[in-house]
Amino acid sequence: MSINQSYAVFGLGLYGTALAKELVRSGAEVLGVDIDESIVNSAIADIPFCKCADVTDAEVIRQLGIANIDVVVITMATDLEASVLATMLCKEVGVKKVIVKCADEISRRILSKVGADQVVIPENEAGTRMAKNLLSDGFVDILEVSRDVSMVEMDVRPEWVGKNLLELDLRKKYGINVVAIIDDKTVITNIDPSRPFTQSMKLIVIANVSKISKLK
């Protein structure tokens, strides 16, 4: 990821919000968009450039200035029609990279044919992620944000157990940004930095691939 690139995130659910917030924290220019006004109102404190809009409308895409965005991430996996239309419109206006989350293999084929540069199917990739987890000391790729940056799920390292984010200062020491914690199958995005880590927790982090490799 480069902070010199601009990003748009279509769909501010759990995943889209976490991604957009971390990009903002990293200093990148980010536009968050959702059709639900209440979701936008909740997210705007963390995502300053946040709009309530229908990204399946060509005129809306023009008004939002999407043609000037380098990377668009479409996270509306449960709405194939909206994802297809948004993908087509983004490519039509010249977006360099469009990443789309979808629900199944048929959706992946359709989205690839209409121009998506990368399609992510969380359910279908579960086996692949498990294999990666077994072979990579507890790291599981979730999404490649760019050639150099990924969002990954990782185990809490033994030396981190009993310590919290304030004590560990992972961003300064390791260059990784924790965007969520999975604790007993519950995904927590509003993280209490004083909460101690336990061995059973999983961390969702965004980091440069080279930083992740060093942790391995």
Q: What is the pLDDT of residues 127-183, one digit of tens each?
A: 444 444 433 445 555 555 656 677 788 889 899 999 999 999 988 888 888 888 888
Q: Which of 92, 120, 148 is the last residue of a domain?
A: 120
% of the chain at pLDDT higher than 70: 84
* pTM, entire model: 0.60
12 & 101 share domain? yes
Looking at the chain, how many residues does it have?
Answer: 216
Domain hosting residue 164, numbered range: 126-215
- CATH code for the domain in which residue 164 is found: 3.30.70.1450
> Which pLDDT score is estimated for 140?
57
The C-alpha torsion from 73 through 74 and 77 to 80, rounded to 10°, is -140
In a domain, 135, yes or no: yes
Strand (E) or helix (H) holding 120: strand 118-120
Residues 105 and 131 in one domain: no
| pLDDT tens track for 73-132 | 999 988 999 999 999 999 999 999 999 988 888 888 999 999 999 888 765 444 444 444
Residue 112 lies in a domain: yes
pLDDT of residue 110: 92
Dihedral Cα 92, 95, 101, 103, nearest 10 deg: 10
Place of tokens 């917030």: 21
